[in-house]
Amino acid sequence: MNFLELIRKRRAIRQFDSKEVEQEKLDYILECARFAPSAVNIQPWLFFIVKSEEKKKDLQKAYPNRWIDSAPFYIVACADSEQSWKRSYDSKNHVDVDLSIAIEHICLAAAEQGLGTCWVCNFDPIICSQALELSEHIHPVAIIPIGYHSSVVKPQVRKPIKEIVKTI
């Protein structure tokens, strides 16, 4: 499959099968995240693999939408704001940009492996941080449930290229 086919295959999945994900697939996904580019190659991220039912329940308190319960595990992508690059002109911290690239590597790698993901950002970061016992300079950016999807994947609806690209 070429890159465009992979991008078209990747969707936000909210229904997971109970089938366990093979460790080799998880290792592959994490290796893809590890090679994501970051500003000045600082790699200001930390990924938590949440498999225990106890920790999953703790995280479900941070995001109470019940569809997430069906995922066999979550990756919580966290940003290290102490290690991140800051732009010299305005001190803009690029940690979220860097981590977003790594998260999308995770989602695309999972899709390539036949797995579904969903990029969850609408969660309570305080509850999530407490559940993971994060230090002050580490903050959660996304919870990514991962697993085999059990639903039929609908075609994506995308804006036409002429609506999103302007040549000047």
Q: Give the model confidence (pLDDT) of 71-87 as tens digits.
A: 999 999 999 989 999 99
The span from the CA of 85 to the CA of 44, in Å, is 8
Average pLDDT on 55-65 reads 95
The SS3 of residue 113 is coil
The span from the CA of 1 to the CA of 7, in Å, is 10
The span from the CA of 142 to the CA of 101, in Å, is 12
Average pLDDT on 11-40 reads 96
Q: Which domain holds residue 156?
A: 3-164
The number of distinct structural domains making up the chain is: 1
Q: At what angle do helices 125-132 and 53-62 cross, to 10 degrees?
A: 160
Domain with 137 in it: what CATH number? 3.40.109.10
Average pLDDT on 29-44 reads 97
Percent of the chain whose pLDDT exceeds 90? 88
Cα angle: 148, vertex 18, 48; to 5 degrees: 70
Which residues contact residue 167 at a Cβ distance below 8 angstroms, ignoring those fewer than 6 apart?
Answer: none
